[in-house]
Structure 1
Amino acid sequence: MSFSAKPLDDTTWSQFATLVERHNGVWGGCWCMAFHAKGVGAAGNRAEKEARVREGHAHAALIFDGAACVGWCQFGPTQELPRIKHRRAYEEGLTSLPDWRITCLFSDKAYRGKGVAAAALAGALAEIARLGGGTVESYPEDAEGRSVAGAFLHNGTLAMFERQGFQRSRKIGKHRWVVAKAVAPVPGFTLI
């Protein structure tokens, strides 16, 4: 399939919101807020996410099939996305914080298994380069040799990240890894 990527901003908010609403707020009303600072709960997550997007404090690469938004990859500076799973194990091996985190990928249930997550990851890396580049970190799951439902791979697979040039750093869960990659900036742009 042929997809296009666009940044999540005030011009793409309505397409993002339509996708999230079609999936019951995603994971029971998360609205992709779980990795931001303290959440406000399912009832307030939509308004909080919209406010963050309009203020430029929420980032994602949205994936489109024509005019329809069919998935995304959330990313942001570490201070924008301070919450991660397996924090204790993460902090035990921490030497320095990355410039950027990739925390969440989502694909419309009708598009799962069709390359949306890989396109979203590539879109996020392109946006990070446009925004100044730097060290990018994520926390994918190693699904090699295991059957894992796509709906539960909100951090993506280790294999997908490795295909994009990420290197394993350390394990932080039974099947979860810290991976990192340096992304060069696009000339003429600076880190936000």
Structure 2
Amino acid sequence: MSATTGTDATYEVRPLTPETWPAFDALVQRHNGIFGGCWCIWFHPDSDERGQGAEANRALKKRFVEEGAAHAALVMDGDEAIAWAEYGTPAELPTIHHRKQYDAEKVADPDYRITCVFVDRRYRRRGVTEVAIRGALDLIAEAGGGVVEAYPHDLTEQTKKMSSSFLYNGTRRLYERLGFTYVRPKGLKNCVMVIEVPPT
């Protein structure tokens, strides 16, 4: 699927699979493993490899992808991945920030959650985050749709600008533009937002 940003650039969105792993791998390598070598495995279930260094995290992420247990919408500029939006079921992505508060206040689990969005530093502030999230919603629709939660940063009361490199899941305003509904706060600076995605 293709998508156009506000800058009129057109990108392709592809799912993270063993076939697209090399492009994802290259994107993470260009950014030193992301957040100190996380390799976007923090939200996955706990395991022996997790937290044992960047190479162990990389191997774990690759195994999850090969097993079909890790999902993401990759934004492609030609053959190069320039962003992703990680999504999955609560079983695939059980580790979320402020989990104790979240569990105490939730009514039910969603069908899917979007946990992490990352954009190549060369492409930030060009609308690529929105392309990645829309791509994730499209892939969820193709998989049968359902209730999707996201946990963006709620900056509505904040006057100081926050660096885009710390916005690991986008902002509340962005998700509102995409049709998500605000549900409740989560922690000090995040919130729970939800949308129902029909199947395609």
TM-score range, shorter chain: over 0.9
Return the alpha-carbon distance in structure 1 between the equivalents of residues 23 and 155 of structure 2: 30
State the SS of the aligned residue for 2:10: coil
State the SS of the aligned residue for 2:165: helix
Cross-structure match for 1:189: none
TM-score (norm 1): 0.94
Q: 1:12 aligns with which of 12, 20, 29?
A: 20
Return the alpha-carbon distance in structure 2 between the equivalents of residues 107 and 126 of structure 1: 18
**Residues 18-97 of structure 1 correspond to what in structure 2 (within 5 A)?**
18-39=26-47, 40-41=50-51, 42=53, 43-97=55-109
- Runs of 5+ unmatched residues, structure 2: 1-8
Instruction: Report the Cα offset of residue 108 of structure 1.
Output: 0.4
RMSD: 1.0
Dislocated runs of 4+, deviation >2 Å = 143-146
* Percent of residue pairs identical: 44
**Residues 1-192 of structure 1 correspond to what in structure 2 (within 5 A)?**
1-39=9-47, 40-41=50-51, 42=53, 43-144=55-156, 145-186=159-200
Return the alpha-carbon distance in structure 1 between the equivalents of residues 198 and 33 of structure 2: 34
State the SS of the aligned residue for 1:122: helix
Return the alpha-carbon distance in structure 2 between the equivalents of residues 89 and 155 of structure 1: 18
Paired residues, number? 186
Cross-structure match for 1:190: none
- Runs of 5+ unmatched residues, structure 1: 187-192
TM-score (norm 2): 0.90
Instruction: Report the Cα offset of residue 143 of structure 1.
Output: 2.4
Instruction: Report the Cα offset of residue 146 of structure 1.
Output: 3.3
Return the alpha-carbon distance in structure 2 between the equivalents of residues 92 and 172 of structure 1: 11
